[in-house]
Each structure stands twice: as structure tokens, then as C-alpha cells.
Chain A
Amino acid sequence: MIEGFTALYIFMLSAFTGYEVISRVPVILHTPLMSGSNFVHGIVLVGAMVAMGHAHGPLELTIGFIGVALAAGNAVGGFVVTERMLEMFKSEKEKA
């Protein structure tokens, strides 16, 4: 179990990484990057799968099912729209 100060350290270092990774981004990439980070939190899918995998009874199962479906939508939709946007970023040279 990740807990106590180990958990705090992971949280702190991850937060710092997120801040650093994005701080050098040019404005022209803000929308694709927002969409890209939206895709990355689609990792909630693995959590939803685990929660649903351990669910018992119709109520837990129904909520778990909804969670997995929503999470899959987040991951797949986030990937598709980000890829479509980034696909269009080409410089003058590449287009020739």
C-alpha cells in the first residue's frame, strides 16, 4: 500500500512534473495539450476496471459498469480528438 510520506512524495513530485512539463508550451499548442492531458487522465479506466472487477451486487455492478463505460469514453475520445488536432500541425517545409 502506498501511504504516509511515500504517498506525499509521489504526489509532490508528480505535481512538480506536471507543472514543469507544461510550462514551456507555446500558446499555439495550448488546445491540443489541454486535449492531450484530458486523454492522459483517461487512465481512470484502469481504476474503473479494478473497481468493477471487485464489485458485488447489482448496485455496485451498475455503478461500476457506468464508470468503466465513461472512462473508456474519456480515453478513446481524448485520443481521437487530440490525434486529429495534432495531425494538422505541419510546418511549411513538411507540406512541400
Chain B
Amino acid sequence: MDTLIQIAYFAAAILFILGLRRMSSPVTARTGIHWAGAGMLVATLITFFWPGMENYLLMTAAILIGGVAAWWTGQRVAMTDMPQMIALYNGMGGGAAGAIAAVELLRSDFYNDTFLVLALVGGLIGSVAFSGSLIAFAKLQGWMRRPFRFPLQHQFNLLLFVVTLGLGVMLATSDETGGTTLLLFFTLALAFGILKTLPIGGADMPVVISLYNALTGLAVGLEGFVLNNAAMIIAGTVVGAAGTLLTQLMARAMNRSIANILFGHFGGGEGAAEAEVEGSMKPIDANDAGIMMAYASKVIIIPGYGMAVAQAQHKIKELMNLLLERGVDVKFAIHPVAGRMPGHMNVLLAEADVPYDRLYDLEEINAEFPQADVALVIGANDVVNPMARNNPESPIYGMPILNADQAKNVIVIKRGQGKGFSGIENALFFEDNTRMLYGDGQAMVGELINAIKQL
């Protein structure tokens, strides 16, 4: 049986890696998740035959409870709410790694002290990923509107972390097992995850979720060593590394370091330098905007989080079809951090059946803006702010942006005159070639469609 289990785990590890590889190309992505799913199924089923196990009835019940609840919520969640669901499921994985560590530490039957230390480290990381992900979920779900801050917060968090580590050292060096020290260790680890995530603003949540995803992977890998489980070691470490790279890519796209996100106070808007912008915002009505687009030869659409909030992606697809019928070249410009996660816009547009070959990355599309007759900005803000290019005073200076301001005309669909998520004034809105179309994203795109149909 032992050999059979090892063969199954080996197969699962291969299926995971091949699955992830297939997921990295749009052509094969859909089969990739099925490959990984097959690996998971094989590994889970064979584990029932692990020698010397008990509690099968309760175990099956636990799998059913967790599985059915996740299946039910996963099928129902709207595409716009995907980021927080990923945070939630990721947190559950971290919690499971923490639970494994707790059980193993209570049993205290380690091969040698190295494995005791690995269990402690994995438990600490898993617990932080668990409670931190839950806070990220609550923030994105809108249950927690304001970042929670108090004086000397970073110093307090650091102290908390050091005390937690100290307890870990105590547990590793003393012969005492379980008891109060262990309880305190996990309680403080969970508290640290909460307090670490609370002050981070909503705009930075994608990077934070990605970071916790990597941490959960690492925790799973470490607990894999403790349990002598090769499938967990390989899958967990692969995710830990891949997640770390993804986190770096995301942070780089925002021109911020991971340290800055974790220790800075930018995402909530406080402390952002006020840069004065000259000029005024010039409104336009939907009819004029529609005519402008209908007679253009090239239109570039720039979606942002506002599109997700307004659920405007289906209307945008309709607008695209209408313009294509009139012979207008329509392209979508996707900023890497538009929305709440990298690729968030792509998922929403894919939901509305916009073919992915019409979506272009920042590098691919930026050279085309000068030839575009109209750049339509819908619900995007900071990612098109030219201050990132030309105002060294601005907090977003240096961030790569979409050069929408270089298009001949810019139309911005925006709910009101307020500032964006980051609280920074957007110079694009005050440019001479920019016109503001005020209103709800979905309603305004609807009016644009009507205006074009009436021509």
C-alpha cells in the first residue's frame, strides 16, 4: 500500500505542475485546471488508505461539510466578487496548515527537533495567512470600509511578532508539550495576521492576497516535511515560489515595493501628497460622445474597477459589436493592476464574451494611443493618470500607466467629480482633449449604444 500511495502522490505532483503550466497559456488554460483537479482527486482518494488512520467517519463528514459549503458558495459568487472568494479559500488553506501544525505539536511525536521547528514555522505562517486572508476578504466584501490605524502600530506589530517568535523558541527548546504556551503561540500568530492586514487599504489588497497565497503555499510545503508527505512538499513549495513571483510582478506594476505596501500607509489615501491641477473638467453628453465614437476609425477602451462595480461589461461588449459593425477598430487596453487583482478586467470581459485577442497589455497598446481617435475610459482612474509620468511630486510618480492622454480625444465615464480609490487628483480629467461623461457606467454605456443606433 505504501508504494501505491507514493505512486499516486508522484502522479499528483506531476499533474499539478503540468496543470499550472497549461494554465499559463490562454489556449490550454481550461484543460490545465482539469489536470490539476485530477491530481487532487487521486491524492485525496489514496490518502484514505494511509496506514494506521482512524476517525474515518468524522473525517468524511468534515470533507463533506467543507467541500459542500465551498462548492455552494463558489458556484454562486458573481464574477466581480472573485477576488474576495480567492482570499477566503486561500485563508481556509492557511487555517488547515495551522491546524495540522497544532495537532502535530499536541501529539509531539516528531522524528527529530528539526521537524518540530518546521511544524512551528509552518503553523505560524499558516495562521497568519488564515487570519490575514479573512481580513482581506472582509475588506473587499465591503464589511470594513476604513483602514484601522493607531499610533505606533508598526512598532506594536513588530513587538507582537517578536513575542510570538519567542514563544516558538520556548516551545522548540522546552520538553513541555501543548498547554498554555502553545495556545498563546497560535493566538498571537492569528492576532498578528489580523493587525498586520487591518491598516492596509483596499487598493493594495490584490498584492496582499497574492502574498498570503504564497505564504499558504509555503506553510503547506513545511507541514509536508513534518508529515513526510511528498505531494504536499512539492505542491506547496511550487505555489510558494510561484505566488512570490506573482506578488512581485503585481507590486512592480504599481511601482511599489512589497515592503512599502506592508509598512507604508498609501492605499487608504491618507498622507498622499496633494498636487494641484490647473484647468477644469469639461462635461459631454452621451449623444455627442456616441457620434464621436461612431465616426472614429480607432477606439481604445480602458476598463477599470468602476466597470466591475457598475457591472457594465455586457453593455461594453454590445458597444464593441456596434462599433465593429460600423468598421471601427476597437481594442481594449488592460493595465496590469486595473481592478482589484491582476487580470480582473480580463476575467470580467471574458465573462461578457469579449474575445481575449482584443485585449492588449500595457506594453502592446501604449504605442497605439496617438493613432486612436477616441480613448474611452470607463471606471479607471490612477492607471491613466499622466502625473505618474510627469509630476515627480505625485505619490504615483514612476508607475507605468496607459497613455490615454495621447489619444486625439478622451472620454471618461465617471460617477462624479470625486477622486479615485487612492485619493489622488487625476490630471487626465483636466486635459483639453478630455470630456467627462458623468453617470453610472452601465447606464452611460447604454446611452452611448442608443446614440450610435440612432445614427
Contacts and interface: CB of A to CB of B under 8 A. Distances in A.
B237 A44 contact: no
Interface string B91-133: 0110111111011101100011011000000000000000000
Nearest to B64: A72
A48 B19 CA distance: 23
A77 B97 contact: no
Interface residues of B, number: 122
Interface string B21-40: 10111110110111011001
A31 B58 CA distance: 35
Contacts of B77: 81
B96 A68 contact: yes
B81 to A, nearest CB: 10
B193 interface: no
B55 interface: yes
Interface string B236-268: 111111111110011000000000000000000
A59 B106 CA distance: 9
A41 B217 contact: yes
A70 B93 contact: yes
A77 B71 contact: yes
Contacts of B86: 31, 34-35, 38, 78, 81
A65 B359 CA distance: 45
B343 interface: yes
Interface string A36-58: 11111111111111111111100
B96 A87 contact: no
B411 interface: no
B16 to A, nearest CB: 5
For A31, A40, A47, A73, the residue with the greatest tally of chain B CB atoms inside 10 Å of its CB is: A40
A50 B356 contact: no
A83 B239 CA distance: 18
Nearest to A2: B228
B225 interface: yes
Contacts of B32: 36, 86
A66 B236 CA distance: 20
Contact of B235 (A29, A43, A63): A43
A50 B226 CA distance: 11
B231 interface: yes
Contact of A39 (B26, B40, B209, B359): B40
B59 A91 contact: no
For A35, A73, A95, the residue with the greatest tally of chain B CB atoms inside 10 Å of its CB is: A73
A21 B82 CA distance: 23
A44 B93 contact: yes
Contacts of B67: 72-73, 75-76
B54 interface: yes
A60 B103 contact: yes
Contacts of A46: 9, 43-44, 47, 229, 231-232
Contact of A86 (B30, B54, B100): B30
A10 B9 CA distance: 14
Contact of B242 (A7, A19, A53, A85): A19
B239 A86 contact: no
B59 A2 contact: no
A6 to B, nearest CB: 11
Interface in B336-363: 336, 341-344, 346-347, 350-351, 353, 355-359, 361-362
Top 4 A-B pairs ranked by shortest CB distance? A67-B99, A53-B53, A18-B241, A80-B74
Interface of B: 9, 12, 16-17, 19-21, 23-27, 29-30, 32-34, 36-37, 40, 43-44, 47-48, 50, 52-56, 58-59, 61-71, 73-75, 77, 79, 82-83, 85-86, 88-90, 92-93, 95-100, 102-104, 106-107, 111-112, 114-115, 209-210, 213, 216-217, 220-221, 223-225, 227-246, 249-250, 334, 336, 341-344, 346-347, 350-351, 353, 355-359, 361-362
Given A3-B111, A91-B27, 20 more contacts: A2-B225, A3-B115, A17-B17, A18-B243, A22-B245, A31-B343, A34-B341, A41-B220, A41-B235, A44-B96, A45-B47, A46-B44, A49-B44, A50-B50, A63-B106, A67-B95, A69-B62, A76-B70, A90-B355, A91-B355
30 contacts: A10-B234, A14-B237, A15-B240, A15-B241, A18-B245, A19-B245, A23-B245, A26-B26, A26-B361, A27-B342, A29-B26, A29-B343, A30-B250, A32-B343, A36-B19, A36-B32, A37-B213, A37-B217, A40-B235, A44-B96, A49-B63, A53-B59, A55-B55, A64-B103, A76-B67, A79-B40, A79-B74, A80-B70, A85-B347, A95-B353
